[in-house]
Amino acid sequence: MDAIEQGLPIFLLIFCRITSFFVVAPVFSSRGVPNTFKIGLGFFLTFIIFLSYGFQQTIVIDASYLLMIIREILIGVLIGFVVYLFFAIVQTAGAFMDMQIGFAMANVVDPLSGVSAPLLGNFKYMLMIVVFLMMNGHHFLLTGLMDSYQWMPLDNALFSRMLEGGITDMLVRIFSNTFLLAVQIASPLVVAMFLTDLGLGFLTKTAPQFNVFVIGIPLKIIVGLFLLILLLPGMSVIFEKLFSIMFDSLEQLFGVVQGPPEGQ
């Protein structure tokens, strides 16, 4: 009974971080994953972390225990949100492409998130998830979540870092970097569509009898799809680069909250 009384508070704190991560992180937070699976996976991961890490900790249940629960939930949501930002890159890039090609009016409902998403953004998002699962990215993601207890133990300084502004500065830099990456991914097709519009403008001036609205819409769709076919083989390399930047950003986030563990 004494072991249960000492270990249960630690187990609950670990469980709060794991499950809050599953609520936000891509793949795990999708509507296609049953809630019972999320809870069961979170329970077993918590059990593994507790066996390897929890016995070394001592927690006293008092008024500050509620703040510790809130802190662990915030850490799990924070880690999941950083991962989500990098998956949202392809949706943002797809939205830029859709606006130029003319697919923006045909937004579809993403079955994974349940919200309306751009057509090409939804296609690239599903392609990114396939590449992520093929390279066992979900295993690396779970490994990083478990290693977060080496960087951010239960007695971390999250609230003080939030007051100092380190967390906010880190999130703003990650958000700006992801937006820049989205613009870079969409730039080849956006530039091509701009040149197509420019050519249609010259055509209107030289041959006014042509209806540019009738010609322009199918022409932009054909050019956009042709360029998309040319760009698809290189998407796997881009996705691998995005995943590398994502894990580097997670490591930087862990360092901002608590700093590297001893010996590293």
Domain boundaries, the chain: 78-257
Q: What is the pLDDT of residue 207?
A: 75
Paired tokens of 248: 């580097």
Mean pLDDT value across residues 33-52: 86
Residues 6+ apart with CB under 8 A from 123: 94
* Helix, strand, coil percentages for the chain (3-state, nearest 5): 80, 0, 20
Query: What element of type H or E holds 1?
Result: none
DSSP code for 109:
E
Greater confidence (262 vs 82) lies with 82
Confidence category of residue 227, pLDDT binned at 50, 70, 90:
confident
> Minimal CA–CA distance to 250: which of 132, 18, 74, 86?
86
Q: Is 80 exceeded by the pLDDT of residue 21?
A: yes
Q: Is 60 exceeded by the pLDDT of residue 6?
A: yes
- Alpha-carbon separation of residue 44 from 47, 50, 69, 236, 257 (angstroms): 5, 10, 19, 32, 26
Confidence category of residue 5, pLDDT binned at 50, 70, 90:
low
- pLDDT (tens digit per residue) in 84-136: 888 888 888 888 888 778 776 666 666 655 666 677 777 788 888 888 888 88
β-pair partners for 129: none
Q: What is the pLDDT of residue 168?
A: 85
Q: Is 80 exceeded by the pLDDT of residue 141?
A: yes
- pLDDT (tens digit per residue) in 194-215: 888 888 888 878 877 777 777 7
Chain mean pLDDT for the chain: 81
Is the pTM here over 0.85, yes or no? no
Determine contact, residues 219/196, Cβ cutoff 8 Å.
yes
β-pair partners for 108: 117
